[in-house]
Amino acid sequence: MIKAGIIGSTGYAGGELVRLLKQRDDVEIIWYGSRSYIDQPYASVYQNMYEIADDICRDDDMARLAEEADVIFTATPQGLCASLVSEDVLSRAKVIDLSADFRIKDVGVYEEWYKIRHASPQLIGEAVYGLPELYRNEIASARLIANPGCYPTCSTLAVYPLAKEGLIDADTLIIDAKSGVSGAGRGAKVDNLFCEVNENCKAYGVAGHRHTPEIEEQIGYAAGRPVVLSFTPHLIPMNRGILVTAYAKLTRDISYEEMKEVYDRYYGKERFVRVLPKDVCPQTRWVEGSNYVDVNFKIDKRTGRVIMMGAMDNLVKGAAGQAVQNMNLLFGLPEDAGLKQVPMFP
């Protein structure tokens, strides 16, 4: 039995972790951390957990939690995990951080984009980027996992094969992404009110969204050199889902069949990445509630570009589901354990 603790259990990602882990017989949640609801029943925050998770919410004492848990999930604002984690904690428990604290290897880049001082820079080098499709072997032996962001997960998986094979000029890469409102978190914000979001679509974080350097870093690894790209996210009036449409110049003429072979070579054996048939575009409704990422591409012969597309659930593969996938790897379990949910429709 794996004993799991969740710090930040009452945010959307934390709540999704509870939902996924509560369906398992091999995991026990022993700690529902929440600064906002200390000493309140967890089911009073999320009534869907009534008679399922009736434990009391606790604080964020990671040192104490590490004495009781095998794995600690931190679904918290940027900066908190870095301020709590330590060598002593990591000697006792695995840590899977759903914030951005350990995703970017250059501490200066992190501090520039997130406008906070990193509290544990000495641990950045050890942290493994938790994208199993790319770093499965490294994840399995890690102590500290940097769970990727939702936009970077979908963007990277859509673009990675072509960047890795040198089939696109990565410096021409433009990524247009759209997210459901849950991606903005559960905090009360005027911009997220129903009347502000409903019947509306807007760009935000234009030329400055904090996920940009994370995407650049991962695509840079694929391309074998530093990459600068344009990333623009948009808010869509739906609860969950991410849709990525990426554009780049091709480095040579290539047929559909040849490009399809590249995607199949990278993802043909992946449990959670589905390469769709020709001319079938990814849609958020076909991945909702699941850990799947649907990807596809379209070659535009007229412009010499390729359009790369991806769709996924931002709370599952974009956050909690990927964290559980990483936990499975850490403990030598089947990678899809607890993640076999079929996408929900309607």
Whole-angstrom distance, CA of residue 324 vs CA of residue 338:
8
Residue pointed to by tokens 């199949």? 264
**Looking at residue 290, what DSSP letter applies?**
S
Catalytic residues: 150
- CA dihedral over 118, 18, 329, 326, signed as positive or negative: negative
Q: How far is CA 113 from CA 117, 152, 179, 210, 225, in A?
A: 11, 15, 20, 6, 21
Distance between CA atoms of residues 136 and 325, nearest Å: 10
pLDDT-based confidence at 173, cuts 50/70/90?
A: very high
CATH of domain 151-314: 3.30.360.10
Residue 184 pLDDT: 86
pLDDT tens-digit readout, 44-81? 999 999 999 989 999 999 999 999 999 999 999 999 99
Return the structure tokens found at 127.
Answer: 């942290």
Contact of 52 with 28, CB cutoff 8 Å: no
Indicate whether 176 pLDDT > 90: yes
CA distances from 43 to 3, 29, 58, 268, 271 (A): 20, 14, 13, 40, 32
Position 171 pLDDT exceeds 90: yes
Backbone angles phi, psi at 192, to 5 degrees: -100, 0
**How crowded is residue 207: how many other Cβ atoms within 10 Å of its Cβ?**
9
- List the strands of the sheet with 94-97, edge to edge: 57-58, 27-33, 2-7, 71-74, 94-97, 144-146, 128-129
pLDDT on residue 12 = 97
- As beta bridge partners, residue 177 has 233, 244
Q: Are 213 and 109 in contact (CB under 8 A)?
A: yes
Report d(CA 306, CA 299) in Å as an integer: 4
pTM (two decimals): 0.96
Task: Give 188-240 pLDDT, tens digit per residue.
Answer: 789 888 999 999 999 999 999 999 999 999 999 999 999 999 999 999 999 99
**Contact assessment for residue 6 and residue 12, using Cβ atoms and an 8 Å cutoff:** no
Residue 81: per-residue pLDDT: 98
Q: In CATH, which of 3.30.43.10, 3.50.50.60, 3.40.605.10, 3.40.50.720 is domain 2-126? A: 3.40.50.720
- Band (pLDDT 50/70/90 cuts) for residue 83 is very high
Q: How confident is the model at residue 17 (pLDDT cuts 50, 70, 90)?
A: very high
Domain residue extents for the chain = 2-126, 151-314
The pLDDT value recorded for residue 186 is 86
For the chain, the C-alpha Rg in angstroms (whole number) is 20
Asked if the model's pLDDT at residue 142 lies above 90, the reply is yes
> Contact 6/14 with Cβ under 8 angstroms?
yes
Distance separating alpha carbons of residues 279 and 197, to the nearest angstrom: 31
Average pLDDT, the chain: 97
Query: 224 vs 187, which has greater pLDDT?
Result: 224
169 CB neighbour count, 10 Å cutoff = 16
Residue 259: pLDDT band with limits 50, 70, 90: very high
Percent of the chain scored above 90 by pLDDT?
A: 97
pLDDT band at 141 (very low <50, low <70, confident <90, very high): very high
| 93, 69 contact by CB (below 8 A) | yes
CA distances from 201 to 81, 177, 198, 235 (A): 32, 12, 8, 6
SS3 state at 277? coil
Q: How much is the average pLDDT of 86-115?
A: 98
pLDDT, average across residues 101-120: 97
